[in-house]
Amino acid sequence: VLFALCATVDLESLADDLLSLLSKQSSAVLSGTVSSSEYRTRVTVLKAPHGDLLSCMEMAKVADLLVFVASTRSLCEETDSYFIDSFGNQCLSVFRSIGLPSTAVFVRDLPTEVKQRNELKKICTSSLASEFPEDCKFYPADTKDDLHKFLSLFKEQRLKTPHWRTQRSYLVANKV
């Protein structure tokens, strides 16, 4: 599940990049599910709707991996953090209380110059690190190469399951 930490983050382009990287065919993927032989995994990419707390909670309950997306362009002045708006803070609080699955943070809109890129990524990481579990990793996600590196690491990673999910199974349906 992709979750935007600020309303100005563009999840559509990120989801499209991920799906096109995972699928070998150049045609557009109609559903959010792709089976990739290159990465030896099957992935369903869902975009959490910003502003709809109940939908975000339902998606977080069924997610194996929750990817928070921060943009270096989105300076949300209404909160203490430059990268998280008030709805993002509210959702993070709720997610922590219900139990987070495995998490990662994508940092988007980094500059192309290496020195500025590393500096801005370090600022973003230090600003957001206190909001996430200690084992949460931060990844740049601007180019297909960045996403390829993440997917290569992701396929080797063992995802943790929240304790409550082993005791109470949960199901989400597209249509009823």
pTM of the complete model: 0.84
**pLDDT tens, N- to C-terminus, the chain (176 residues):** 999 999 989 999 999 888 888 887 545 556 778 888 888 888 889 999 999 999 999 888 888 889 999 998 865 545 556 789 999 999 999 998 888 888 999 999 998 899 999 998 999 999 899 999 888 999 999 999 999 999 888 877 777 666 666 666 666 666 65
Nearest to 14 by CA among 165, 164, 144, 155: 144
CATH superfamily of 2-154: P-loop containing nucleotide triphosphate hydrolases (3.40.50.300)
- Which two three-digit tokens encode residue 32? 């959010």
